Structure 1
Amino acid sequence: METSTKDADPVRVLDVASAEYRRVFELFLAGTDEKPVTHARLGEVVAALPHRRVLLDLGAGDGRTTAYLGRSFERTIAVEPSAAMREKLRAACPDALILPEPLDLAHPPERADLAHLSHVLYYVPEADWLGTVTRALEWTAPGGTLLVVLQNPESPCMRMATHFTGVRYDLGPLADRLRERHPEHGYALETLDLHYRTPRLAEAVDVAEFMVNVADLAALDPRPSRTALTAYVQEHFALSAGGYAIGHTQDMLTVRRAGGS
């Protein structure tokens, strides 16, 4: 694991409520193909559902994907514990029922035909993943679908995070444990190939810093240095034709709950 030196500035801990987090998040969204690629795949999943009554978005964030999905459903329920994100969520999804509790305290009032748990497990201890996803599955209606999305452990983005922080996330073992515990449901694990691109090194480093924040950086002592992160970006993500590209392949676990009509 790469660590900082005493005379180097450490990478920043980006608080989701801060203006700097929002700036870098918007920078990431402006340069990635994530939304068009993932939304296209999500649209296919929605089209295959037997019913489209209730959407449950768990950890809905700023509501961009919630709004995209919600237009296909009669009702939307969103769980988002961050007050800063809920403000944007309400603007994006004014008709949604928004629950402010964390996932372990939330109580959605009805089961969903699609439950969406995207990029949330980073903030859940791995020992609690099975319990968290099992709860989400319980909130999914018979015949409905649960989607769990996370970085692929071998993506360039995740390899960078592992290099600097030691963290590594992998949906594969979770899928196996779910299948063992609940063999009656249907399971599929697929990958979506995504890339962030920018012509500017400073922006690439800012986004790389945002990406390594999937780890609890505040708990690292010392934190990785920004100098080392810059060198890593130049070595691994520079393009021969100019600019930078950071692959951030995602895994999507689909669980089709048994039952229904």
Structure 2
Amino acid sequence: METTTRDADPVRVLDVASADYRRAFELFLAGTDEKPVTHARLSELVAALPNRRVLLDLGAGDGRTTAHLARSFDRTIAVEPSVAMREKLRTACPDALVLPDRLDRVRPPEPADLVHLSHVLYYVPEPDWPGTVARALDWTAPGGTLLVVLQNPESPCMRMAAHFTGVRYDLSPLADRLRAQHPAYDYAIETLDLHYRTPYLAEAVDVAEFMVNVADLATLDPRPSRAALTAYVQDHFARPDGGYAIGHTQDMLIIRRSPTS
């Protein structure tokens, strides 16, 4: 394979406000089955709630999942500190109360029957995870449910990130710690099997670059090269029948508060 100038460059640090991030994110969404699979499971969890008065989405992003959930609730509160994401969020959820604060500073005005914390803990130092999730539990109404979503540590996506960055996330120790602190709550971890697919190597590499940005790449010296990432994609994600498939299995920690807790 011929090496281009870009191949010799390090993988990019993708800022959430940048055009490169938005392009990679759109490529990912166009090729993944994540939204239909997760939205179907979220709908089942919502249907089982005893009340559906308030939804609180922490780190709501562009609002696609928020909008899917919001139609089942009387009121929606969405927290999103990114200016670029908030613009899309307000378009997707025009009736939501949108709060621009960071998670460690936000003060939602009322407890919620569903609190959704999806793919946010990547951006929180791991020692702060228990405090962050404990605050989310405080914002969960009695009888309500808190959902914490993160990549499964053994997913192909996470194995790739660990290979290049050493970063590996796992919700299980957090669940054990919370269970010890709040034994009256009900805990479960579900795993959803998800895949990104594309016929094109260049798009697969761009999405792989997006995926390894779960690590703080700016702190790595040196950062891995695009050539090394391309070789990894070809070695691990090429399909025998052509094209590329990257598994990104995710875990969903489900914490249910009792009606009297």
TM superposition score normalised by structure 1: 0.97
Aligned pairs for 1:66-215 (under 5 A) are 66-215=66-215
Q: CA deviation at 1:260?
A: 4.6
Match of 2:255 in 1: 255
Distance (Å, rounded) in 1 between the aligned partners of 2:260 and 2:199: 50
Post-superposition CA distance 1:213-249 (Å, at most 9, x none): 0000011110011000000000000000000000000
Q: Which amino acid aligns with 1:129?
A: W
Q: Which amino acid aligns with 2:114?
A: L
Q: CA deviation at 1:259?
A: 2.2
Post-superposition CA distance 1:22-51 (Å, at most 9, x none): 111000000000000000000000000000
Q: Which amino acid aligns with 1:17?
A: A
Distance (Å, rounded) in 2 between the aligned partners of 1:158 and 1:245: 14
Match of 2:55 in 1: 55
The 3 A distance-change label for structure 1 pair 62 and 170 is same
Aligned pairs for 1:10-29 (under 5 A) are 10-29=10-29
The CA RMSD measured in Å over matched residues stands at: 1.0
Match of 2:4 in 1: none
Distance (Å, rounded) in 1 between the aligned partners of 2:44 and 2:236: 33
Q: CA deviation at 1:85?
A: 0.3
Q: Which amino acid aligns with 2:56?
A: L
SS in 1 for 2:8: coil
Q: CA deviation at 1:21?
A: 0.7
Consecutive unaligned residues of structure 2, counting only runs of 5 or more, are 1-6
Aligned residues: 255
Post-superposition CA distance 1:114-144 (Å, at most 9, x none): 0000000000000000000000000000000
SS in 1 for 2:144: strand
Q: CA deviation at 1:20?
A: 1.2
Distance (Å, rounded) in 1 between the aligned partners of 2:14 and 2:122: 14
SS in 2 for 1:55: strand
Distance (Å, rounded) in 2 between the aligned partners of 1:258 and 1:174: 20
SS in 2 for 1:84: helix
Distance (Å, rounded) in 1 between the aligned partners of 2:221 and 2:258: 46
Distance (Å, rounded) in 1 between the aligned partners of 2:93 and 2:239: 38
Q: CA deviation at 1:8?
A: 2.6
Distance (Å, rounded) in 2 between the aligned partners of 1:80 and 1:121: 14
Distance (Å, rounded) in 2 between the aligned partners of 1:225 and 1:258: 49
Q: Which amino acid aligns with 1:176?
A: D
Consecutive unaligned residues of structure 1, counting only runs of 5 or more, are 1-6
Match of 1:220 in 2: 220
Q: Which amino acid aligns with 2:38?
A: T
Distance (Å, rounded) in 1 between the aligned partners of 2:24 and 2:168: 22
